[in-house]
Structure 1
Amino acid sequence: MNKKVWLIYGMLALATSTWGSAFIAGKYAVLSFEPATVAFLRFFGAAILLFPIMWIMVKNHTKPTLKDYGLFAILGLTGIAIYNICFFLASKHAPVIKSSLFIASNPVLIVLLSGLFLKEKITKNNIIGMIIALTGVAFIITNGHLLTLFQLGFEPIDWILLGAVVSWALYSVVGKIVLKKYTSVESTTYAVAFGTLFLLPFALFETTWQDVQLATWDAWVAIAHMSVFVTVVSFIMYYQGIKEVGAAKASIFINVMPVSAVIMATVFLGESFTFAHGIGAVCVLTGVYVGTNTKKWTLFKRQNKLRVQTKDSA
């Protein structure tokens, strides 16, 4: 493997691990602001940066139609507004380790929704991957005591996390439609713009000028970090990686996100990583890999079956 490829892989790992830092930054930001306000400030800052970047990077702009604006609005509502309200509510009320590992199961749901709405083929491996990932999520929610899920049901924050997972999956599925016509930079920029507009009324309702004045420097630094590095810089690095090595290889690095979040939560926030979290993490990451890398998994099983047959005939 040449040096350039290693640099690209390093860039992808840095981009996705930076996404994990959003869980930590969110913890600091929600100490000064309510969740919707944190989301608004994050994406307002990102929008200011993204529009000039879009105009520089995209030479031949496609003028959006009314239908296109409708799709961008759906992207803004699901992936920017609803997802981030749920995300920052979880930042306020749930441990980072639980939130990050829960949300890590997202790719499997994206595959299933793509099959439902985009008529993409759902394979047996997709279903198996989903079951393994959801088993991992159940371990994380119950801290290893699976029977309590049937006795007590979901906690309120678990429903919030589920809302985050579903809204991001819907955003990803609609995004696949939009990306057939627009570049990733254009799609993200317009989605962020609409999402910021949707978040504005909530921010105005829940935040006073006094809240702004009393906000700590930690909160402002956390919001700036999420605007500049998590939303803009990491996005550019990730899509540059897709351009260089392809979406399939780049998507594997998304699994770095929950790992980095868990490590940073234990180091910076002093959260405890339990044995149940470990089992859950292994299940989630295995389920995501099986459910989203269907061709590789099928090839592996065929090769394994061929080895067994060769041994038997020897």
Structure 2
Amino acid sequence: MMRKETIIVYASLAFSTSIWGSAFIAGKYAVTSFEPATIAFLRFFFAAVILYPLMWVTQRNRSKPTIKDWALFALLGITGITIYNICFFMASKYATVIKSSLFIAINPVLITLLSYFFLKEKLSKKHFIGMIVALLGVIIIITNGQLIRIIQLQFQFIDLVLLLAVITWALYSVLGKLALKKYNAVVSTTYAIGFGTLFLVPFVLNEITVEVLTNASISSWLAIIHMSIFVTVVSFIMYYNGIKEIGAAKASIFINVMPVSAVILATILLDEVFTLPYLIGALFVIGGVSYSTITRTKKKQNIAQMKKALE
């Protein structure tokens, strides 16, 4: 029987990842008043105002970064904060929430692949199969079920933007694993957000004016505040607390809640249409990611049980 504490952890993980799904909806509201880089800057500027004092209070004994560490944090900032979020909010402006969320759902698979090449982590046969299945799902989503478009290379510009978003987030995650060897998640993310926000400044200077800020709708400001506080700070703390309690392998499974949440909210709040090809593609993506992660988790559990039985 599942313990009450475990149920609470699972519930908090499901809630935090569903909040990530709401970022796709908030992005749609924000782009009605602001350009992509401006939204990204405002989101992380407000998040930094919260995270830096939090880090100084809760992480008083943190290590002092070396020059190499600062360089790593800068790379984290430019990949996961600057480039990824510009692409994310461009997708919010030019693509449907359903397409964007299902496309980005392939992230865990690409992270596994990059970890294999750059961190020399093991890539099992089941991981490889899961990646192929998820990739097929993405192809179905991109082409809206018309697979001949892949052969004819009839991509839309926003498809390439989404692809860059997936790649940069995967790079951010792999680099993050290096940072986490020395620093905890709060410190690594806070420094990354600091650098990413600074790198966004040149883009913002070309977009923002006093008139834009004063004429922005209330819904756009509320969307940015929601992404700053709930999507970036609250859900981050909840998710990493879940990792601390049950481990990264189990916690990563809950990432699959994100596209489901985004699709449900998009159909309810934005009247987007969930087409049959999107459904088929989603099943392939979520199925492939789940197959890669869940089977790995079960294998670890079985090994642990065998060791315990032999003691």
User: Contact conserved, 1:111 with 1:292, CA < 8 A, in 2?
Assistant: no
1:22 counterpart = 2:11: no
Q: Any idea what SS the aligned residue of 1:206 has? A: coil
Alignment match, 1:217: 218
Alignment match, 1:307: none
C-alpha separation in 1, matches of 2:153 and 2:184: 45
Q: 1:41-63 CA distances to partner (integer Å, 9 max, x unpaired)? A: 00000000001111222231111
Alignment match, 1:140: 141
C-alpha separation in 2, matches of 1:72 and 1:36: 20
Alignment match, 1:105: 106
C-alpha separation in 2, matches of 1:94 and 1:127: 29
Return closer, same or farther for 1:141/1:206 CA change in 2, 3 Å cut-off. Answer: same
Q: Any idea what SS the aligned residue of 1:64 has? A: coil
C-alpha separation in 2, matches of 1:172 and 1:41: 22
Alignment match, 1:33: 34
Alignment match, 2:307: none
- Scaled by the length of structure 2, the TM-score of the pair is 0.94
Q: Any idea what SS the aligned residue of 1:191 has? A: helix
Map residues 1-314 of structure 1 onto 2, 5 A cutoff.
1-296=2-297
Q: Which moved more, 1:142-151 or 1:230-239?
A: 142-151
C-alpha separation in 1, matches of 2:199 and 2:245: 34
Alignment match, 1:303: none
User: Contact conserved, 2:250 with 2:297, CA < 8 A, in 1?
Assistant: no
C-alpha separation in 2, matches of 1:7 and 1:288: 24
Residue 225 of structure 1 deviates from its aligned partner by 0.2
Q: Any idea what SS the aligned residue of 2:32 has? A: coil
C-alpha separation in 2, matches of 1:298 and 1:224: 41
User: Contact conserved, 2:252 with 2:293, CA < 8 A, in 1?
Assistant: no
User: Contact conserved, 1:96 with 1:265, CA < 8 A, in 2?
Assistant: yes
Q: 1:102-139 CA distances to partner (integer Å, 9 max, x unpaired)? A: 00001111011011111112222222111100110111
Q: Which moved more, 1:53-62 or 1:270-279?
A: 53-62
Return closer, same or farther for 1:294/1:9 CA change in 2, 3 Å cut-off. Answer: closer
- Scaled by the length of structure 1, the TM-score of the pair is 0.93
Residue 298 of structure 1 deviates from its aligned partner by 6.5
Q: Any idea what SS the aligned residue of 2:34 has? A: coil
Unaligned runs of 5+ in 1: 301-314
Question: Which amino acid in structure 1 is aligned with residue 157 of structure 2?
Answer: P
Q: 1:263-304 CA distances to partner (integer Å, 9 max, x unpaired)? A: 00000000001111111111001111223345357699xxxx
Q: 1:171-214 CA distances to partner (integer Å, 9 max, x unpaired)? A: 00000000000010000000000000000110111111111111
Return closer, same or farther for 1:8/1:298 CA change in 2, 3 Å cut-off. Answer: closer
C-alpha separation in 1, matches of 2:297 and 2:55: 35
C-alpha separation in 2, matches of 1:113 and 1:144: 27
Question: Which amino acid in structure 2 is aligned with residue 72 of structure 1?
Answer: F
Residue 149 of structure 1 deviates from its aligned partner by 2.4
C-alpha separation in 2, matches of 1:272 and 1:295: 34
Residue 143 of structure 1 deviates from its aligned partner by 1.3
C-alpha separation in 2, matches of 1:297 and 1:49: 37
C-alpha separation in 1, matches of 2:251 and 2:168: 22
C-alpha separation in 1, matches of 2:52 and 2:153: 47
CA RMSD of the aligned region, Å?
A: 1.4
Question: Which amino acid in structure 1 is aligned with residue 22 of structure 2?
Answer: S
User: Contact conserved, 2:102 with 2:141, CA < 8 A, in 1?
Assistant: yes
C-alpha separation in 2, matches of 1:298 and 1:56: 39
Count of matched residue positions in the alignment of Structure 1 and Structure 2: 300
Give the share of equivalent positions with the same residue, in percent: 64
User: Contact conserved, 1:290 with 1:297, CA < 8 A, in 2?
Assistant: no
C-alpha separation in 1, matches of 2:237 and 2:17: 11
Residue 152 of structure 1 deviates from its aligned partner by 4.4
Unaligned runs of 5+ in 2: 302-311
